[in-house]
Structure 1
């Protein structure tokens, strides 16, 4: 069976450029819907969810930044990669968009091959994160065939309950052991208490999301179940000795440096 085509929403007001991108992406087996402005695209996006959105930054009626901020208010777009096209080389402009949560940039003028590589890269990263943290459909079978490692069972429960902010009492109930036994087993295997282990597990997940292309810090807070933005930021800085915002910037700078070497 053939793999399903990657569905792309392209927003580009320059007709000549938009038509060229559309044709070349179609030739590379992408399913592309092209819109001339953000308002037109927003109507479509309210009804359908693509695999990736690629938008010009500067457009009439609704620019790329406004479009991005509007669709990210809808939870179904929280994990949809968003690539911004721009001719503006100002770092402050780029950092503002990255802080908003845009996954990547492509600078005009560009070669379509570069865009294709970026599309495939962000899609593969998204898939790898989803695969890593999706429950194993055979996990119940595995449990029956052999005793599952305690930490694997623990991590599986944590990942399934990240957003619900599961506490120690609930966690011990899921594992059918007392809180004291749970804490002892965690300390024995990790040299951490249960609270530290749970907090760092959430932070490790946030770090993986950042490396997958996520740039929206508020989204990271929500996805990892932290009670507040400030608690997430404080915990993150204590864990890595750097703020989430500065960590995201360092990842982007490193990525840009690698792109330059490849180019």
Structure 2
């Protein structure tokens, strides 16, 4: 199964960074989408059910932060594959994200190789689930 069959939602309030991640993933063949607001992202997830979600923990201008986005997404689909993206290394956010089922953590500033490697690994998990 090629990457085009894998849908990725990028959530970051920094529109330039969200666009960068979306373009990188699109170039690698993923069907990538972006949201810059937590509430909008949860609604997108509810309606579109992407396979993988990259979530910025600090959604500064959003009503809800990334940890709350993760929690709400997992309430919709407990098997959702989520990768947290952050500048913040506060242990409480890390702990809550792990409790809610985040698969990975990526630290900003982001390198395109790190983004692709994390999404590729998540895509392998998705493919394994679909094959079984």
- Give TM class, smaller chain: 0.7 to 0.9
Tell me which stretches of 4 or more aligned residues in structure 1 moved more than 6 Å.
none
Quote the Cα distance in structure 1 between the aligned partners of 2:116 and 2:57: 18
Greater fraction strand: 2
- Aligned residue number for residue 9 of structure 2: 9
Quote the Cα distance in structure 2 between the aligned partners of 1:126 and 1:16: 27
1:13 to 1:121, Cα distance in 2 relative to 1, 3 A: same
Cα offset for 1:95?
2.3
Partner SS for 2:47 = coil
Quote the Cα distance in structure 2 between the aligned partners of 1:63 and 1:105: 15
Note the aligned Cα RMSD (angstroms).
1.8
Cα offset for 1:126?
4.0
1:100 aligns with 2:115: no
Quote the Cα distance in structure 1 between the aligned partners of 2:81 and 2:99: 14
Partner SS for 2:63 = coil
- Aligned residue number for residue 121 of structure 1: 121
Cα offset for 1:4?
5.6
> Which structure has the larger Rg over C-alpha atoms?
1
Quote the Cα distance in structure 1 between the aligned partners of 2:3 and 2:129: 19
Cα offset for 1:105?
0.6
Partner SS for 2:13 = coil
1:68-87 equivalences under 5 Å are 68-74=70-76, 77-87=77-87
Question: Structure 1 unaligned runs (5+)?
Answer: 135-263
Cα offset for 1:43?
1.8
Greater fraction helix: 1
1:15 to 1:100, Cα distance in 2 relative to 1, 3 A: same
